[in-house]
Amino acid sequence: MIDKELLNILACPVCKADVKLEDEKIVCTKCGRHYPIRDGIPIMLIDEAEIPDKQL
């Protein structure tokens, strides 16, 4: 779905941490925000991120 090379260069726009692919979403390894993937394109916009319940 997402090229591994692309995943290696992506970073969370909020905290600049590395991200990983999890359940068809891009997930920040530090803050835990989930970014959607639409038509094979990661949407790395802060406003599009889902914030985990523990962050609320």
Residue 2's SS3 state is coil
**Separation of CA 4 from chain center:** 14
Q: State whether residue 26 is helix, strand or coil.
A: strand
Q: List the CATH number of the domain containing 37.
A: 2.20.25.10
pLDDT tens for residues 15-51?
999 999 998 999 999 999 999 999 999 999 999 999 9
CB atoms within 10 A of CB 8: 10
Per-residue confidence (pLDDT) for residue 16, from 0 to 100: 97
As given in the structure block, the two tokens for residue 55 are 């962050």
- Number of domains the chain is built from: 1
Q: Which domain holds residue 31?
A: 4-55
